[in-house]
């Protein structure tokens, strides 16, 4: 029987789209996401297992997809492949406010979980701008980081337990909901950050944190990242408040955002070489705003602050956050601009940015990168001010400027978006060779038929 009728017989009450239907739908952040021959949206773990077993027996490649917001091409598909869409597994099964644990299906969006947790004064402890579409399963599979990682860790630190369907259809069930379990190899970590290459994550137990009563926002103009880091250290040292966000925007990026969003010149302290966006939690909004104002006043001279403002309303705070989060302004100005996501350790941010600015200029005198990111954990996002895709050799030369020396310095060429397809070559050139060998051995052991998201992350 041809593929589609076979799938419909196998999973009679499950939404199934063919290639024609896929071509007429929005593929999400990557145009390649809907290149497959079919999409299947199972509603429970048993149906995922049935689908995986079917594919394994026929050697058909399966690509798991969540919210399709991934930025590394991990969810890209091609003809002959089947998409396993986790959108049908979207139940928040339980929130235990006493134990501060949530049991969720993989297709639950971060935004839905944040809302459900807020009813109990709790929060998943992780946040990113794609919260409305990104799913917990996708976030686990890319080991997403985001705005609060410096405080609460990445997704890896939020997962207590995990259930996944293996490439042969068996269900790996380790849905522990306790923090302490020292019972042999902690195999759930294999699936976190695996980008769907080792199995399909179906359910999760996540830790939750209490939320501060209110959060105030400030935008501060500073001469450099070192100055911004001084301010961050100051607020991290306070015990009566909770620093919730510390995002940095270099001038070139901030100016592009200001223009793109139509903000009036002089409306914000945008003339500084760097802008620091701070979120500070406290019991009440008044207390949070007062703590931001007092804290900034106390560190103003020492940190060499140029200018700053504390948002006086929710609307003003939202306007400040748009400057950081509406990064599609880059895409509008430079369609498919080459974009990167690195981690730079400790106090090396200013030297790193100066080095790459100079290095990029040697490739092309017009290159002036947009740099912004999560200051407190050294995660920088970098986009080149040109339309893409650039020729392969040029892309590699840009990567060499950005990645050379990073691993040796203790950083990473891929901070939080994953490897997917985009960074697979960089992975071959910049990841530790022994790590790559081990990764291939693990992939070969768990997925000997190479049916689970083949061609992503590891080269087989
Ligand atoms: C505006 C914007 C801002 C962003 N900001 C951040 C940020 O601050 N920090 C950050 O870390 N990321 C960020 N991202 C990237 C993206 O949101 C994350 O990578 C997110 O984790 C992807 O989730 P998703 O559900 O959309 O996954 P998808 O895009 O659907 O898939 C991503 C990868 O995970 C795999 N996958 C998906 N679901 C499963 C599953 N259930 N089981 C196994 N594999 C699966 C896919 O095969 C693919 O390899 C941002 C993206 C956008 C568009």
Element (H, E) at 46: helix 45-58
pLDDT, one tens digit per residue, over 284-323 is: 999 999 999 999 999 999 999 999 999 999 999 999 999 9
| Phi, psi for 13 (deg, rounded to 5) | -105, 20
198 touches ligand 1 (CB under 6 Å)? no
CATH assignment of 214-326, among 3.40.50.300, 1.10.10.10, 3.30.70.2190, 3.40.50.720: 3.30.70.2190
**Residues above pLDDT 70, as percent of the chain:** 99
Q: Is the link from the previous residue into 426 a cis peptide, with omega within 30 of 0?
A: no
Span 60-69, average pLDDT? 98
What's residue 269's pLDDT? 64
Are 41 and 14 in contact by the 8 Å Cβ rule? The answer is yes
What's residue 164's pLDDT? 98
Span 102-108, average pLDDT? 98
67 touches ligand 1 (CB under 6 Å)? yes
Q: Which atom of ligand 1 is nearest to the CA of 127?
A: 8
**Residues above pLDDT 90, as percent of the chain:** 94
Query: Cα separation of 87 and 458, whole Å?
Result: 26
The fold of the 92-210 domain, in CATH, is 3.30.465
135 touches ligand 1 (CB under 6 Å)? yes
Whether the CA torsion 422, 108, 159, 438 is positive or negative: it is negative
Span 422-434, average pLDDT? 94
Q: How far is the CA of 308 from the centre of ligand 1 (A)?
A: 33
Span 5-9, average pLDDT? 95
pLDDT grade for 86, boundaries at 50, 70 and 90:
very high
Indicate the pTM of the whole model.
0.94
Burial category of 308 from C-beta neighbours within 10 Å (exposed 0-12, middle 13-18, buried 19 and up): buried
Burial category of 89 from C-beta neighbours within 10 Å (exposed 0-12, middle 13-18, buried 19 and up): buried
The fold of the 3-88 domain, in CATH, is 3.30.43
64 touches ligand 1 (CB under 6 Å)? yes
139 touches ligand 1 (CB under 6 Å)? yes
Q: How far is the CA of 244 from the centre of ligand 1 (A)?
A: 22
Please report which residue ranges of 342-432 form alpha helices under DSSP H: 349-363, 392-403, 424-430
The fold of the 329-444 domain, in CATH, is Alpha-Beta Plaits (3.30.70)
Q: How far is the CA of 429 from the centre of ligand 1 (A)?
A: 24
138 touches ligand 1 (CB under 6 Å)? yes
281 touches ligand 1 (CB under 6 Å)? no
What's residue 213's pLDDT? 84
Does residue 271 have a pLDDT over 90?
A: no
Q: How far is the CA of 331 from the centre of ligand 1 (A)?
A: 18
In this chain, the answer to whether the domains covering 214-326 and 329-444 adopt an identical fold is: yes
Here the tokens at position 381 are 């996002």
pLDDT grade for 346, boundaries at 50, 70 and 90:
confident
Query: What are the boundaries of each domain within the chain?
Result: 3-88, 92-210, 214-326, 329-444
Whether the CA torsion 27, 28, 31, 32 is positive or negative: it is negative
Can you spell out the DSSP letters for 254-307? HHHHHHHHTPPTTSS---SSEEEEEEEEESSHHHHHHHHHHHHHHHHHHHT--E
Span 239-248, average pLDDT? 94
pLDDT, one tens digit per residue, over 182-223 is: 999 999 999 999 999 999 999 999 999 998 789 999 999 999
**Residues in contact with 231: Cβ distance below 8 Å, sequence separation at least 6, in sequence order:** 220, 222, 276, 278, 295, 296, 299, 303, 305
What's residue 392's pLDDT? 95
33 touches ligand 1 (CB under 6 Å)? no
227 touches ligand 1 (CB under 6 Å)? no
Residue identifier of the C-alpha nearest atom 38 of ligand 1: 138
Residue identifier of the C-alpha nearest atom 8 of ligand 1: 146
Span 106-130, average pLDDT? 96
Query: Cα separation of 141 and 417, whole Å?
Result: 10
pLDDT grade for 386, boundaries at 50, 70 and 90:
very high
């Amino acid at each position: 029987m041809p593929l589609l009728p076979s799938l419909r017989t196998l999973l009679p009450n499950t939404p199934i789209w063919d290639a024609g239907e896929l071509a007429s739908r929005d593929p999400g952040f990557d145009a390649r996401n809907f290149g497959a021959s079919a999409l299947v949206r199972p509603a429970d773990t048993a149906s995922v297992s049935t689908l995986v077993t079917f594919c394994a027996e026929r050697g058909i490649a399966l690509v798991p997809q969540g919210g399709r917001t991934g930025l590394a091409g991990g969810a890209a598909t091609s003809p002959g492949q089947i998409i396993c869409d986790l959108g049908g597994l979207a139940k928040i099964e339980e929130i235990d406010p006493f134990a501060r644990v949530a049991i969720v299906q993989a297709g639950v969006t971060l935004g839905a979980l944040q809302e459900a947790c807020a009813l109990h004064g709790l929060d998943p402890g992780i946040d990113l701008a794609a919260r409305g579409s990104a799913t917990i399963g996708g976030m686990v599979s890319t080991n997403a980081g985001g705005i609060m990682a410096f405080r609460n860790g990445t997704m890896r630190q939020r997962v207590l337990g995990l259930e996944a369907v293996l490439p042969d259809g068996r269900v790996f069930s380790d849905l522990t909901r306790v923090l302490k379990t020292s019972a042999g190899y902690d195999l759930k970590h294999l699936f976190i950050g695996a980008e769907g290459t080792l199995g399909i994550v179906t359910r999760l137990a996540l830790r939750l944190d209490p939320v501060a009563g209110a959060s105030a926002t400030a935008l501060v103009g500073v001469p450099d990242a070192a100055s911004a880091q001084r301010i961050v250290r100051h607020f991290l040292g306070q015990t009566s408040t909770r620093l919730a966000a510390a995002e940095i925007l270099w001038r070139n990026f901030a100016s592009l955002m200001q223009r793109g969003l139509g903000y009036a010149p002089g409306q914000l302290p945008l003339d500084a070489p760097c802008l620091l966006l701070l979120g500070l939690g406290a019991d009440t909004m008044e207390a949070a705003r007062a703590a931001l104002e007092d804290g900034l006043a106390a560190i103003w001279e020492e940190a060499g602050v140029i200018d700053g403002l504390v948002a006086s309303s929710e609307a003003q705070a939202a306007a400040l956050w748009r400057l950081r989060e509406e990064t599609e302004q880059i895409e509008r100005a430079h369609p498919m601009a080459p974009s990167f996501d690195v981690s730079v350790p400790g106090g090396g941010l200013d030297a790193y940015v100066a080095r790459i600015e100079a290095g990029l200029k040697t490739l092309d005198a017009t290159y002036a990168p947009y740099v912004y990111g999560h200051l407190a954990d050294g995660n920088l996002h970098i986009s080149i001010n040109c339309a893409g895709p650039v020729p392969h050799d040029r892309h590699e030369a840009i990567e060499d400027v950005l990645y050379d020396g990073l691993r040796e310095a203790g950083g990473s060429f891929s901070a939080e978006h994953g490897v997917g397809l985009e960074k697979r070559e960089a992975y071959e050139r910049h990841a530790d060779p022994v790590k790559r060998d081990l990764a291939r051995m693990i992939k070969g052991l768990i997925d000997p038929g190479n049916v689970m998201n083949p061609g992503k992350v590891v080269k087989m």
